[in-house]
Amino acid sequence: MENEKFSLPNYNIPEDLETIVAITTLDRLYNWGRRSSVWPLMFGLACCAIEMIAAQASRYDMSRFGMEVMRPTPRQADMMLVSGTVTKKMLPAIIRLYNQMPEPKYVVAMGACASSGGPFKEGYNVVAGIDKFLPVDVYIPGCPPTPQALIAGLIKLQEKIDRQSIKKVRWYDRKKEDANYVPMPILGPDLIDVRRNAEIKQAAAAKESAS
């Protein structure tokens, strides 16, 4: 970041020191560090992942945003890029990976499937959006979104990070114990198990007749 963007306005820095001195806030310094090295977790779920891979290649080059280091381990990743269809079978693995990521951590829903189920919405095996389970920071529309759209979404994420304050972000909330832990979804109570459709319909009919 250039010095004039880094320094907050209203600080009078002598002209001869302008190129070497910056006065800023802790928030701004902290956000600058995070927004410039958001390392994505390396995993893809479906066709959207191909566009994500294209965005990492030389033509689009996500390294311009400090996002070129895709980590194969959640322990070293800052951002979960959910690129593709989230199936009920895959969901527990995704939640487990999210829980294993250290804070601060962000989630980007790439494409119609990750945002809402997309063309498979209401499908027997598909979750209608990862935001039903994880706190999504940025949604990227499209089926699939182009690499340019992905980059636009990642810039939005950087802008969101720029506006955060170290005092308010949920990772440092001492009052809550493990505020970021997401319970593992269970087929049945959390996710509709189609094998139990007859039982579910029967219970719904009984509830309706009783009301």
Residues of the shown chain interacting with ligand SF4 in the complex, contacts defined by CB under 6 A: 46-48, 84-85, 111-113, 118-119, 143-144
CA distances to 18, 32, 62 from 9, rounded to whole Å, are 13, 16, 30
**Does the N-terminal peptide bond of residue 102 adopt cis geometry, omega within 30 degrees of 0?**
no
The residue among 146 and 180 lying less far from ligand SF4, judged by its C-beta, is 146
Residue whose token pair is 């560090």: 33
Smallest gap from residue 113 Cβ to ligand SF4 (A): 3
Neighbours of 66 (CB within 10 A): 16
Smallest gap from residue 169 Cβ to ligand SF4 (A): 30
Give CA–CA dist 140/143, Å, rounded: 10
The residue among 112 and 154 lying less far from ligand SF4, judged by its C-beta, is 112
The residue among 31 and 83 lying less far from ligand SF4, judged by its C-beta, is 83
Smallest gap from residue 196 Cβ to ligand SF4 (A): 26
The residue among 124 and 172 lying less far from ligand SF4, judged by its C-beta, is 124
CA distances to 84, 86, 126, 128, 144 from 119, rounded to whole Å, are 11, 12, 10, 10, 11
Smallest gap from residue 127 Cβ to ligand SF4 (A): 12
